[in-house]
Structure 1
Amino acid sequence: MTDTVTSLLARNLHGVFGEADDARRRVLVDELFTEDALFVEPAGVTRGRAAIAAIAGKIRATHPGFAYAELAPAENLHGLAGRLRWTSGEPGRPPSYAGTDIIVVENGRIAALYLFFDPLPVKDVA
């Protein structure tokens, strides 16, 4: 299975980290990530599909009602890497936090995912 960089980014954000069901999350991780994929975040480094699915579940469990919103279209860098800026929070309320996902793609799958937390976007005031 191969996928475009922008699709991988969106499916990872919403389908892996936004998924509450462990079994559905695991199926998607197996589809999107290479077997020995790397996930690097401020809290640590995780390697392998099973570990990535588990950490995504733990992250999701800390904010079960939160939803992700993309701040801008995902960016594709020559089919080899990409980034997606996003926010997360309770639907209908201002976001609670923001981040950027950067991926490295090998053979149509995510080989590495780097998560950076960002300052919340400033809302324009008139």
Structure 2
Amino acid sequence: MIQQSESAERIRELLTRNLQEVFGEADENRRRAALEELWAADGVLHVPPGSVVGHEAISKVAGDLRATHPNFVYTPSGKPQVVQNAGRFAWGSGPRGEAPAYTGWDVAIVRDGKIAALYVFLDETSGEFHRVTAQS
């Protein structure tokens, strides 16, 4: 039997905080502080246009995304689910109080209590998926 080395609570915390404090954060200094706390230094972010490695690159992707949607908020869709050292978390993004303009899933692989890899899946039915994939 494989023993789980990562706490399910920690994985849920990482997914929840990453959504709000990294991708939902407009202030670069607060976003960078959250990255230091939540992500491994060599963490890899996989998004539809490609992959980036490290805090600086992840902060840039999150900041650039935030700048294109400054009035959007991330709203969880349910609670994070955890299996071994991985977790997934569904969310929507759009103006506060309105239906999400796009939806997706974050799937995280956790190592030593930090996000080692995050895979972002945009739902094909959302407009953002079609905009991003058309540019690829």
Q: Look up the SS of the partner of 1:4 in the other structure.
A: helix
Aligned to 2:40: 34
| Number of residue pairs aligned between Structure 1 and Structure 2 | 118
**Superposition deviation, residue 76 in structure 1:** 1.2
Runs of 4+ deviating beyond 2 Å:
none
Aligned partner of 1:92: which letter? G
- Structure 2 CA distance for aligned equivalents of residues 114 and 103 of structure 1: 6
Describe how 1:1-126 pairs up with structure 2 within 5 A: 4-78=10-84, 80-118=85-123, 119=125
Same amino acid, percent of matched pairs: 43
Aligned partner of 1:58: which letter? D
- Structure 1 CA distance for aligned equivalents of residues 22 and 122 of structure 2: 17
Provide structure 1 residue ranges, at least 5 long, that are not aligned to the other structure. Answer: 121-126
Q: Which moved more, 1:104-113 or 1:42-51?
A: 42-51
Report which of the two has the higher share of helix: 2
**Superposition deviation, residue 92 in structure 1:** 1.5
Q: Using structure 1 for the length normalisation, give the TM-score.
A: 0.90
- Structure 2 CA distance for aligned equivalents of residues 27 and 92 of structure 1: 28
RMSD, matched Cα: 1.3
- Structure 2 CA distance for aligned equivalents of residues 93 and 110 of structure 1: 30
- Structure 2 CA distance for aligned equivalents of residues 30 and 54 of structure 1: 14
Q: Using structure 2 for the length normalisation, give the TM-score.
A: 0.83
